[in-house]
Structure 1
């Protein structure tokens, strides 16, 4: 009985390893990764092609002073803190923006950096807000995480490094990417109505 259980466990581990290896191979072929140095060491940065965006399409940066962990605990609610600081994932279909259809921008909940525009939001069926492009090339950063036994591209705020979600290669045109974000990592700024004149 124990040997049969052991064989199943070994086969299960082997299957997971093969799935992870094939994901790494496919992910490596599908994504173009650059190695770039940062102040915290070397990280992998993903090139995302943005239609209509050029090198001058950047968000101006002001002097940003990062909040301490204690300040963030006071500022954020539990799920916001867990998602942005501990890379947790909020429940699907039970979050603020998965079905938000209003026009506006999504900003980082920690530092208020603009991240995504509602124009690039699409219905992914996943239960999380999904976008096919960030608002600007320098809005988000990328690194590889292995928390699921296979590599995934983690997306974080480029300014404060708050965890936002993950990037997948199953999105719509023009990018073919799906930025699957946690509502808890963002705040929505509704567009001002143009009907008032």
Structure 2
């Protein structure tokens, strides 16, 4: 909680951590979460979601949701294609902060840039999900939520393995993309998807 304590020492009353999940996948939304942890009763074991297994993420997500003020927001595939994944991730972050029940004084952002549309003061922390408990909590909530979204989408579009790969470019996912084509939830601006669509357009020309 060092970064949170520093923000409070500078005058902040409420501090939230913000992180996203889903920048790298070929399909699905990018998801962000914002979390204001309580002064007491913070769940033990908070860490960068990528360093936790699925069972630990689910367990911690439930504990965070039970004790914290938290919110989740998405940027859609259409928004990702329109403004690129970097800006879409920042858009989702801003939406998550706005969706919190309480308005934080400072948002601790995982990364090296503060989203331009952030409506509160922000502090960018490189590797923040391993340095800030609030950002770690946000990374867990974002990852668990997005994985659930991809499991639901896998029911609508079987064959791509989204319930297992969460839309990331695994060999099996790319093989299915070549064989089955792109779905409405594939990111057209990403090279593997774009290249397949170009081949399809040439073949039909």
TM-score by length of 1: 0.25
- RCO (CA 8 Å, sep 6+): is it higher in 1 or 2? 2
Give the structure with the higher percent strand.
1
Higher percent of residues as helix: 2
> Which of these two proteins has the greater Rg computed from alpha carbons?
1
